[in-house]
Chains A and B, each alone.
Chain A
């Protein structure tokens, strides 16, 4: 069983039909466990109180905003190098999901920032680089929506995605530098090791749940996109026959 075996869309649709229900059930169960732990078990922070629970959705969103881009970059590589027929479907479908997760990461972070920092938005290095990532997602979606032919749109957005991969570390690094120049006091610092286990476990479960949710949404979106392309092809054949 190799990746190329699923280049056939029909076979891929068959696989998603079997996998999706199970995956959805597992996702729901993980969410149930994670939310139970977050709401009833996880302790309130001694400084932040109950608002610390925003972390359990904010951090997974932030993690997925990057995971989505990595998925898109892998798919873009698959499109350009192996010309895998499903890679561009995967890249196209991951973009709106990634944009949504990035937006939610910014929104939940903003809601968390208001009670903690006293402001909705800070031009902090991390916030700014996530905002740039969000704009890049929107740009990729705009490019995909502008080019009519799916194959050409896929190649164009694949190139842009890979250029973005090269640039994201530079943007991150330069924004860090920019921030330290203008704003030496770091507002937000949280090393993984400084978190207590009673908070880390629910966080990891929530992160797993959201990753599973991403997989479910991505597979569903890919299935829809394949069907949409089939309808498009059928309409084209029909239109060509009608002349």
Chain B
């Protein structure tokens, strides 16, 4: 257990120090959301309606962009081989790495989203709901993305391929995230139903991601 907590601390240190690029994702998120009104026009009513979707798409893209660093840096400096040979179960190592990665890159997105929601002219209820769905949904994106990151770890330019592999798998998270966020403001649909499914997807990917990611890392070695 102490090895795993040490790993978490190490990952956090690496992500927050120079060259870690932890806040790069949040910056990208800001830019994506800023670009949208230029595309669809500054109609505040329209922006309020599509706001949750824009925030979700921005968070999805920002998560995908940061994912290629998840295992690549460790592979480059040989740390991955040590982890593979270590005693700690590889699945748990992947889980811890994902959690640390999410804390460093996903959590800033969640924290930034209420401010960006104000740009989108969203109502307070919608802002709260969207932030809550992002808080539950972005870990799922990281865990699913870890599979793609592990599959493309040995490739030189794996970033684009990673996005291609991971995006179709994130469709359910996206659907239920946006559904829950819009259900909070639209009357007939209950918020709890899509939100519980989103939470279930998060828990499910928390199991699937580390197992599949660890399998991919094992085979990437030989």
Contacts and interface: CB of A to CB of B under 8 A. Distances in A.
Contact of B168 (A139, A146, A178): A139
Contact of B171 (A142, A143, A171, A181): A171
B127 interface: no
Nearest to A131: B168
Contacts of B176: 174, 177
Interface string B127-163: 0000000000000000000010001101100100100
B213 to A, nearest CB: 9
A159 to B, nearest CB: 5
Given A142-B161, A147-B154, A181-B179, A159 B171 contact: no
Contact of A143 (B165, B179, B204, B222): B165
B175 A178 contact: yes
Interface in B186-222: 189, 194, 197, 201, 204, 208, 212, 215-216, 219-220, 222
Contacts of A178: 175, 179
B164 interface: yes
Interface in A147-164: 147, 152, 155-156, 159-160, 162-164
B75 to A, nearest CB: 14
Nearest to A156: B151
Contacts of B147: 159-160, 163
Contacts of B171: 132, 171, 174-175
Contact of A136 (B168, B179, B215): B168
A178 B167 CA distance: 17
A184 to B, nearest CB: 11
Contacts of B161: 139, 142-143, 146
B42 interface: no
Contacts of B220: 152, 156
B216 to A, nearest CB: 5
Report whether over half of chain A's contact residues are helix, strand or loop; otherwise say mixed: helix
B86 interface: no
A138 interface: yes
Contacts of A164: 169
A166 B208 contact: yes
Contact of B216 (A159, A167, A175): A159
Interface string A156-198: 1001101110110011011101100100000000000000000
Contacts of B152: 143, 146
Nearest to A80: B215
Nearest to B150: A159
Contact of A171 (B172, B189, B219): B172
A181 B189 contact: yes
Interface of A: 80, 132, 135-136, 138-139, 142-143, 146-147, 152, 155-156, 159-160, 162-164, 166-167, 170-171, 173-175, 177-178, 181
Interface of B: 147, 151-152, 154-155, 158, 161, 164-165, 167-169, 171-172, 175-176, 179, 189, 194, 197, 201, 204, 208, 212, 215-216, 219-220, 222
Minimum-distance CB pairs A-B, first 6: A174-B172, A155-B219, A178-B175, A139-B165, A174-B175, A135-B168
13 contacts: A132-B168, A135-B167, A139-B165, A146-B158, A152-B220, A159-B219, A164-B169, A167-B168, A167-B172, A171-B169, A174-B175, A174-B176, A177-B175
